[in-house]
Structure 1
Amino acid sequence: MQRQWTRARQLRNNSTDAERRLWYFLRRQQLASHKFRRQYPMAGYIVDFVCVPARLVIELDGGQHLDALAYDERRTARLECKGYRVLRFWNDDVLLRTDDVVAEIFRALGEKPKA
Structure 2
Amino acid sequence: MEALFLIIQFLTKRYLMGQGIVILILGVLIGTGLWLIGVPYPYFWGFLAGFLEIIPYVGTTIGVVLPFSYMLIVSDTLWQPFAVVGLYIMIQQIEGNLISPNV
Larger helix proportion of the pair: 2
Using the size of structure 1 for normalisation, the TM-score is 0.27
State which structure, 1 or 2, has the greater radius of gyration over its C-alpha atoms. Answer: 2
